[in-house]
Amino acid sequence: MAAMNSKRRRRRNTAQTSQPPGFQLPRQQLVNPYPPMTLLSDDQIESIHQASLTILSEIGIDFLLPEARDMLKKAGAITETDSERVRFDPDMVEQSIGLAPTVIDMHARNPQHSFKLGANYLSFGNVSSAPNASDIIKGRRTGNQQDFRDFLKLTQYYNIINFSGGYPVEPADVHPSIRHLQCTRDFIQYTDKVFHAYSLGAQRNRDVIEMTRIARGLSQAQFDSETSLMTVINSSSPLRFDKVMLEGIIEMSSRNQLVILTPFTLSGAMAPVTLAGAVAQQNAEALAGLVFTQLVKPGAPFMYGGFTSNVDMRSGSPAFGTPEFMKTAIVGGQLARRYGLPYRSSNVSTANSVDAQAAYESVFSLWGAVMGGCNLVKHAAGWMEGGLCASFEKFVIDIDLLQMVAEFLKPFEVNEDELALDAIREAGPGGHFFGTAHTQARYRDAFYAPIISDWRNFESWQEAGSPQAVDKANKVYRQVLEDYQPPPLDEAIKEELDEFVDKRIAEGGVKTDF
Amino acid sequence: MAAMNSKRRRRRNTAQTSQPPGFQLPRQQLVNPYPPMTLLSDDQIESIHQASLTILSEIGIDFLLPEARDMLKKAGAITETDSERVRFDPDMVEQSIGLAPTVIDMHARNPQHSFKLGANYLSFGNVSSAPNASDIIKGRRTGNQQDFRDFLKLTQYYNIINFSGGYPVEPADVHPSIRHLQCTRDFIQYTDKVFHAYSLGAQRNRDVIEMTRIARGLSQAQFDSETSLMTVINSSSPLRFDKVMLEGIIEMSSRNQLVILTPFTLSGAMAPVTLAGAVAQQNAEALAGLVFTQLVKPGAPFMYGGFTSNVDMRSGSPAFGTPEFMKTAIVGGQLARRYGLPYRSSNVSTANSVDAQAAYESVFSLWGAVMGGCNLVKHAAGWMEGGLCASFEKFVIDIDLLQMVAEFLKPFEVNEDELALDAIREAGPGGHFFGTAHTQARYRDAFYAPIISDWRNFESWQEAGSPQAVDKANKVYRQVLEDYQPPPLDEAIKEELDEFVDKRIAEGGVKTDF
């Protein structure tokens, strides 16, 4: 009762002011209760699968790391002298399918932030890897540590965000040789959620793996039994895996950490101009990555990533949140499920400002991802300009979109209480429901209360200065930064972490050879 | 070949300039090839059906037109002396189900603009019934004839819009007694698409029916055999049908014209605060309307309209494009199909400006409508402020959204040509696809070319003055108004129409008793 009163007070307070930082949903493991949409028949999916096998056996993939080629050759793949090309017998590919887990437990240092990937679980990550940051007051600037940390605060604050999918913005003011050390320490100190390690050379992966182990307070053996870290491995489409990406797979898969294999197959540029061809190529690259991870460690957690979109054929610019993106997102999900693999998609936009375009491209992306049965949405909050900018206002607007998706996925209940025949009797023809007991008992929490949407009538809105959605988002994000509280971190762990980072920084980090 | 060249030229020209009025899809009968999403099991749908039957038999509906009560009483409904209440035995309701057509042919005066309603056909109508109009240059103003006509020009211009769902904006400068005459003449002269008759008293319906018959050049008997006109009948929720609405059903159904029965069941105000209750009430009102239309004329075309949304429980303001709206849109579709009826939903937003909110609420609405297997989307372009304003810029942005939905619904083809293995061979690992023969043969028409989306990089966009989506939409709509060409109208028909209108105006139109 006390808890209920306290909850009521909190909600009423939010309701009264409708001010930043606004309502947020409780922490939850989101589940999509609906069967995924399918655009293709099983036969059509099989045709794409077969086309991918043909690509892998006839054309092959370039693996730029000699060690990887050696491993693949020993396992039966066909390699050539003086060539990076690797070809795969269809049997070798088929044998890799079914080894990786269909559901992955992702362990955060705060167990309340652990989550599941796969089946009908759905999770959201923050914007990642943008070289620029922006807000409407200070404008657009090169990424820096302050912005990086501010985005981590938002990531930590919002329950709907499950993980940091990478550096929200690249902190250009932190030297690349030690950036992974500084940034990972920030991940651990500013958040207690799951985070991401960039695969930029084996040593960086090893450093971040060790820091993650320290943060979780686990022995090496325990760490290897609990997936706590993720990396995105992009193939350099078409049909190529760079050295650092293959090193990343070796370091991460051997330690049982998550590899999200995401081909960067932009239809018309790095992939065929026809969507089926682009997806067949995406699928071939994903399967090649699957083979390699399962060779490194059978059963290593692997996620099928779909990022196929189209380019503007006039300018070559990539386009996102397009009808083509939605379609390939849904077909990608069908393929991932064909292989029993968890599936990753994204919330993307090419817009240069937080306008109508930014919003419709994002909702179209979410439509494709959610209806396609995606398990992990990367860049779910804050991604702009096709990935070149992380926007603080878009972050907050996206939070509202994600929360609305979560509400949409909440089962539609039908029972005596919900059917409310007594309330309909009480109101009767021509009556009003606000005064009924049924309404009075439920009105506070009946509907989703959006952070951003302005439902005032035009006159009240105009009197308030005609605020746009982006203006409200600006206020909200600044309020969240003020309200933010760092998560507790065990003092012993903090010391061990600092000791590790200080030592590695003193050693010069990792030579910046890229 | 000549046609192909001409098509190419046209597309290239569009591509080169990327200028207003932008690309539009060809005229088409849109089909949704995917099975509708279902949120509820058949048993849950049956529970709602049974709850609606209970409402109709135990609580009843107020029918404010004595003639309608008499008709219903004769048909077996239970009425009371000195009361407007009508109660329905479940059998009487069940007997009305299955009489109305599952697919309706809507006949436009230009047969190329005729379309089908029901099954998996999808159609879009313009914004309707807004008291205000707006654009970013002239601002927001009370609806007037010039704006009314300008919206009709946009309606005619865009192929993706199938019909005028009402007056896009109310022309307050046209006297209500003759407004239906003037506006319907405008419908006929400015467009050759299907349009709507407001049910504001029997005589207005009769006038518009006669004008529609004249416009189509049909005899009275022919007209009665071809559905050419639609009216929206709103129940005055909860559980009440006003006099003019019932007159509208009598006039329209008796002439075999389309009734779109749309309860205005805002959850928390005119309907229970729980969604299942709101939908049960919506369904009861829709079924009562169905019974009455089928009593007027068995087999009269009837559309099940869903408009259930929620209100802001703090202010009482209606909210649209919410998660609750999406859910009831999808459940409404399940109910309509339970009864074999075509289904109407809407593209709605409460935003006061054409910002991110306007866009995300619209795409969420479309998500619910399209995934819910809706057949007719009213207010599909231009609706703002919960219906209080028709925006020229939002009209154009919505056109882009609708075209993207149409592209999304185009089947994803998988065949040898689309799988493009030869192109993948030609590009090879590390190659580029732009130069391949496969790309060169297809790049012009490969992807949807949006009207509004700005895909330029930040620097180019900034040099161009940092235009927002709404700025581009402003340019586009003004260009469309310049490019607009009125559709041909047979001189004899025009004369007959003018004669009718002039005579009815001279008679004073219809006394404004409302």
Ramachandran angles phi, psi of B303, nearest 5°: -120, 135
Question: Which of A 129-148 lie inside 8 A of B, CB atoms?
Answer: 132, 140
B299-304 average pLDDT score: 98
Going by pLDDT thresholds of 50, 70 and 90, the confidence category of residue B21 is confident
Is B9 within a domain? no
* pLDDT reading at A89 higher than 80: yes
Is A117 within a domain? yes
Instruction: Check CB contact under 8 Å for B429 and A60.
Output: yes
Q: What is the pLDDT of residue B513?
A: 62
Residue B92 domain boundaries: 26-411+448-514
User: In this complex, which of B85, B276, B462 lies closest to A414 when CB atoms are compared?
Assistant: B276
Contacts of B40 (CB under 8 A, 6+ apart): A412, A414, B48, B331, B334
What whole-number distance in Å separates Cα of residue A277 and Cα of residue A474? 42
Q: What is the pLDDT of residue A18?
A: 42
Chain B residues in contact with A425 (beta carbon < 8 A): 58-59
Q: What is the pLDDT of residue A313?
A: 85
Contact status of B8 with chain A (Cβ, < 8 Å) = no
Chain A residues in contact with B473 (beta carbon < 8 A): 356
- DSSP states along B462-479: HHTT---HHHHHHHHHHH
Report pTM.
0.95
Nearest residue in chain A measured CA to CA from B354: A356
Is B443 within a domain? no
What are the pLDDT digits (tens) for A147-191?
999 999 999 999 999 999 999 999 999 999 999 999 999 999 999
Give the amino acid at B156: Q
Minimal CA–CA distance to A178: which of A155, A150, A153, A211?
A211
More confident residue, B18 or A299: A299
Instruction: Check CB contact under 8 Å for A423 and B452.
Output: no
Q: What is the pLDDT of residue A314?
A: 83
Percent of chain B with pLDDT over 70: 96
* pLDDT reading at A13 higher than 60: no
Bridge partners for B240 per DSSP: B62
B23-32 average pLDDT score: 93
What whole-number distance in Å separates Cα of residue B413 and Cα of residue B69? 55
For residue A127, what is the domain's CATH number? 3.20.20.480
* A11-25, B247-261, B273-287: the lowest-pLDDT one: A11-25
What are the pLDDT digits (tens) for A233-263?
999 999 999 999 999 999 999 999 999 999 9
Exposure string over B239-248, b if 16+ CB within 10 A, otherwise e: bbbbbbbbbb
Contacts of A148 (CB under 8 A, 6+ apart): A167, A168, A169, A170, A171, A183, A186
Going by pLDDT thresholds of 50, 70 and 90, the confidence category of residue B512 is confident
More confident residue, A17 or B94: B94
Question: Which of A 466-495 lie inside 8 A of B, CB atoms?
Answer: 466, 468-470
Going by pLDDT thresholds of 50, 70 and 90, the confidence category of residue A17 is very low
Is B253 within a domain? yes
Q: What is the pLDDT of residue B276?
A: 98
Contact status of B39 with chain A (Cβ, < 8 Å) = yes
Going by pLDDT thresholds of 50, 70 and 90, the confidence category of residue A7 is very low
What are the pLDDT digits (tens) for B399-413?
999 999 999 999 999
Question: Which of A 150-189 lie inside 8 A of B, CB atoms?
Answer: none
What are the pLDDT digits (tens) for B271-283?
999 999 999 999 9
> How far does the CA of residue A507 sit from the closest CA of chain B (Å)?
36
Instruction: Check CB contact under 8 Å for A447 and B355.
Output: no
> How far does the CA of residue A425 sit from the closest CA of chain B (Å)?
6
B168-195 average pLDDT score: 98
ipTM: 0.95
Is B137 within a domain? yes
Contact status of A17 with chain B (Cβ, < 8 Å) = no
Nearest residue in chain A measured CA to CA from B274: A418
Q: What is the pLDDT of residue B514?
A: 53
Q: What is the pLDDT of residue B511?
A: 86
Is B18 within a domain? no
Is B135 within a domain? yes
Minimal CA–CA distance to B372: which of B341, B308, B327?
B327
* A16-20, A102-106, B475-479: the lowest-pLDDT one: A16-20
Instruction: Check CB contact under 8 Å for A350 and B454.
Output: yes
User: In this complex, which of B410, B443, B457 lies closest to A273 when CB atoms are compared?
Assistant: B443
B195-219 average pLDDT score: 98
- The pair of three-digit structure tokens given for residue B144, joined into one six-digit string: 């007037």
Q: What is the pLDDT of residue A16?
A: 37
B329-352 average pLDDT score: 98
Is B284 within a domain? yes
What whole-number distance in Å separates Cα of residue A501 and Cα of residue A163? 22
Taking all residues of chain A, what is their mean pLDDT, rounded to a whole number? 95
Instruction: Check CB contact under 8 Å for B313 and A447.
Output: yes
Chain B residues in contact with A236 (beta carbon < 8 A): 430
If one counts the domains in chain B, the total is 1
Q: What is the pLDDT of residue A514?
A: 52
Q: What is the pLDDT of residue A513?
A: 61
